[in-house]
Amino acid sequence: MEVTRKADMKTVDGPADYFTGKATITGQFQRPEPSRVSGAIVHFEPGARTNWHTHPLGQTLRVSGDGLRPGKAENSAIL
């Protein structure tokens, strides 16, 4: 098991290729192969959002606070 203290996590601005508005990424990690596990904490300022993209192998999101998952009318959701 690897433990990382919050004080040791690096925070960077979200790149414009992936975000519009102000977003920050904290504690980004990627586990070595054969694992496909990666993750980070992303914080969005009001009005910020991700640019449209896909995750061919799937994605798990944990949302805290308010948010909106856009999509076609039947798939949209307020989080």
Per the confidence metrics, is the pTM higher than 0.75?
Answer: no
Domain boundaries defined on the chain: 1-48
Question: Which tens digit of pLDDT belongs to each residue from 36-76?
Answer: 888 999 999 988 988 888 888 888 888 787 776 666 666 66
Q: How far is CA 59 from the centre of its chain?
A: 10
- Burial 39-57, CB ≥16 within 10 A → b, else e: eeebebeeeeeeeeeeeee
Q: Would you say residue 18 has pLDDT above 80?
A: yes
Three-class DSSP category at 29:
strand
- The predicted structure's pLDDT at residue 13: 97
Q: How far is CA 79 from the centre of its chain?
A: 14
Query: CA nearest 63: which of 45, 48, 42, 49?
Result: 42
